[in-house]
Chains A and B, each alone.
Chain A
Amino acid sequence: MIVEAHDLWKRYSRFDALKRLDFAIAEGSAFALVGPNGAGKTTTIKILVNLLEPSRGRASVLGVDSRTISPRQLADIGYVSENQELPGRLTVGEYLDYLRPFYPRWDRDLEQSLRADMQLPPERKIRDLSHGMRIKMALVCAMAFRPRLLMLDEPFAGLDPLVRDELISGLLQQAGELTILISSHELLEIEGLATDVGFLHAGRLIFQEPMTRLTERCREIYVTLESPAHVPDLLPAHWLQARAVGNVLMFVDTQFADDTIGALVRTVCDDVRHIDAKPMNLRSIFTTLAPAASQKVLS
């Protein structure tokens, strides 16, 4: 595992930003850390790059405790954050010139190619770049040395769709060569990128699993009945957001299995005419799971 967190806590004054966080990221994967605002995504990533220290527990990155990450490990880690403070008084070219000697594996061709793709003017001062251009700049600075691990903290925040697409295509070009940890609200964008997903809520990791398994186990189920439908009093716990419209009972099954869904539905409804199971995108899964997770955390 290229990243591991064990019993990770982060406390700010009386507020726990992270509570007993455990997760692992396999090398070569693209791990999406999703969750609502204040869930602890940024805190987690900042702990992983040693910008913050955990209050308890430990995280390891590239096999090293995050608290003791040295320049040797940082030479293999790319980091992009929406609030990253780049030296504004240097030009794009000057900053790239400055960074180059720090990275033994800096690929000048890749740098030039990325810079051209992202249309970054080398003579422009960084402080004069727009927010989107600055994120692109940070991305070039994070990818030109071919990192083993790329951490992206809300890289798409505040970007227009065109720039987002450019960034994602840039990332996809590198996918497979590196491990990506990305936190984002832009669930539709990262869906095509992520191989694994972790859902963080109120500082707790609600689940972590491969993207394929998540999309396979979550389905929108439409049960058409012979008679007007109503929501039964007792439903399996993994059926969420159940509602009835006319003869149709709708819910989200978070433990969907094609071979058992029919039998399970019939234990609840007598006069089933037709069952339709529709795949869900990450955004729909997230909006379904988030309220449930919130209730679970509160309870």
Chain B
Amino acid sequence: MVWHIVKKDWRLLWPLVTALAVLDGLLAWTRFSAGHFFNGLPIVPGSLLQLLAAATVITLLVHQDPIPGVCQDWLVRPVSRRDMFLAKLLFAVLFVQGPWWTSDLLQGLANGFPSGQSAAAATECAVWVLVTLTLPVLAFAALTATTTETLVAMLGVFAAMLGSVIVRSLLGATSPTALTGFAWIPSLVRQVVMLAAAFAVLILQYRRRRTRTARALFAAALLIGLCAPQLPWRAALRLDQVLTASSPVDRGIVVAFAPDAGRFHLAPGQRIDDIVEKPGFGAADVAAENQRRRAEGARTVSMPVRVSGITPGWRLLADRIEVRLIDRGGHIVHQGTGNDFELRAASPETTHHQGIRVPGAVFARVQSDPLDLELEYSFTLFRAGPTYALPARDGDQRMPGVGWCETRVNDAGTHVRFQCLQPGERPSCLAIVLEHAPTHARNPEVSLCVPDYSTYPGHVLPDALSRFGGALPFYDPSGLAAYPVGGSQLADAQVVVTAFEPIEHLVRRVRIPAVRLQDWEPLAR
């Protein structure tokens, strides 16, 4: 009877399903036409519209045979509730996700990727949509009987989400894993909780019609999901170890205090409270973080540390640095986090000045006192993968493990733009550099690392293709910066691309005794 119910729903919903399929096709065509350089196109809003439209169709699908209430005709018919649920699920998979999957597949094929790779990426995306959209929306819709009820419930969910943001903002609580490669852990926790709640709700509703209990359960899951970003750092690390079944390997990486490196000297125009920017994390996130830090009125000290044991060419990313300042009596006078950083070692040993922000009042009180400084580093080590090169001007190359990439000089003639397409997940970390091939002169390297240490593909938006890239400057109109590889050399220049793969997380602790904070403030040149 499952197919019989599906046919009935098709008869009622085919116009909407067709409209959704057309939308999927249009968006896929738009993205395909845009190619690598899609600036200005409404890629993400279009995808959000696609998600919203899919959720609407699924909700209407469930509401053809609503569960809450005592007046629904189907409830007094010999219709197996299991068949009814399976019919709804099958319909959603076939007619909501089916066109989506097809458009993803066709887009991959049209971009010249192998059919296996395109199908795998489309399927990964479809499974992700099933888990994060279809099943939760099926469950959510099963809690309501009408569109009005659903809208009210959605407003409730939106209010809860907004409330959690406001509360977190008022409490000054930031997610310990935000902007790190471990952000997938709280995200996974939230998704697992919501998926478990979705299953429980679907069982409760389709087997027992326990609407009140199911609603309470869903609300509780939502609450837990909203609190998930506050998962403590150590818990996230432990979960990562369990989920990735990884055990630390001693690779001989050592971090030690390096007083001989002296105090940090600011470059002209540099502000010490600028955090290390991580390309790909979004300028808005970085700007907001800088704004927050400046508003604190904190002082920065910059401690020299020497990191040794890194294989030359590999990268070491500090995901989080926990800082404790302890006075002579053993009391913690300050506890916080240090500035993140990323090292690409040219030699096995490299020195770094570790920025530490101390609240203004604390600094004023203890700046001349001898304090013990404890630093606990959570690092991720990236192994260098294959290196490729493509012409800096109008380059076009397919690079295994990276994707199909193109280069183009921007309209202002200041940057070489580098953009790639890749079915499925993008590489976690890339480094690109503009190199003059005949002389091997190089401009500063640009990191395209967006660390994501998740063990599963979690890529949905805007489709099954990852789009990523960056810009390599070669000319500064203000004249402040001079580049070894300039515009006149672009004809012979190439973009050298190196992929990096995260291979290990490691923790290192450094204890520096009797530090006077005032001795380690950065010096202006």
Contact = CB atoms under 8 A, between A and B. Distances in A.
Interface of A: 46, 49-52, 71-72, 74-75, 77, 79, 81, 83-87, 89-90, 94, 98-99, 101-103, 138, 141
Given A71-B80, A98-B8, A81 B1 contact: no
A74 B1 contact: no
A52 B211 CA distance: 12
B75 interface: yes
Given A85-B72, A103-B78, 7 more contacts: A49-B76, A51-B71, A74-B77, A77-B76, A79-B76, A87-B64, A98-B8
B13 to A, nearest CB: 9
A98 B6 CA distance: 11
Contact of A74 (B12, B69, B76): B76
A84 B80 contact: no
B1 A102 contact: yes
Given A89-B12, A94-B11, A102 B73 contact: no
A77 B75 CA distance: 12
B511 interface: no
Given A83-B71, A87-B73, A101 B4 contact: yes
Contact of A98 (B4, B71, B78): B4
B67 to A, nearest CB: 11
Given A89-B12, A90-B11, A99 B72 contact: no
Interface of B: 1, 4, 8, 11-12, 64, 69-73, 75-80
A75 B12 contact: no
Q: Which 9 A-B pairs have the closest CB atoms?
A: A71-B78, A75-B78, A74-B78, A79-B76, A51-B70, A85-B71, A102-B78, A98-B8, A49-B76
A102 B79 contact: yes
A82 to B, nearest CB: 10
Contacts of A101: 1, 4
A79 B126 CA distance: 41
- Majority DSSP secondary structure for residues of A touching B: mixed
A50 B209 CA distance: 10
Contacts of A102: 1, 77-79
Nearest to A104: B78
Contacts of A50: 75
Contacts of A52: 70
A63 B76 CA distance: 17
B73 A84 contact: yes
A165 B75 CA distance: 28
B190 to A, nearest CB: 33
Contacts of B71: 51, 81, 83-85
B71 to A, nearest CB: 5
A256 to B, nearest CB: 40
Contacts of B72: 85
A79 B71 CA distance: 11
7 contacts: A46-B70, A51-B75, A51-B76, A84-B71, A101-B1, A101-B4, A141-B73
Contacts of B11: 90, 94
A6 B417 CA distance: 79
A138 B72 CA distance: 12
Nearest to B13: A89
Contacts of A71: 77-80
A81 B76 CA distance: 11
B32 to A, nearest CB: 36
A89 B80 CA distance: 22
Contacts of A86: 73
Max chain A Cβ within 10 angstroms of own Cβ: one of B1, B4, B72, B76: B76
B495 to A, nearest CB: 57
Contacts of B1: 101-102
Contacts of B80: 71
Contacts of A84: 71, 73
Contacts of B70: 46, 51-52
A220 B80 CA distance: 52
Nearest to A151: B76
Contacts of A85: 69, 71-73
A75 B1 CA distance: 14
Nearest to A100: B4
B12 A90 contact: yes
A203 B80 CA distance: 32
Contacts of B73: 84-87, 138, 141
Nearest to B69: A85
Max chain B Cβ within 10 angstroms of own Cβ: one of A75, A85, A90: A85
Contacts of A49: 75-76
A141 B69 CA distance: 20
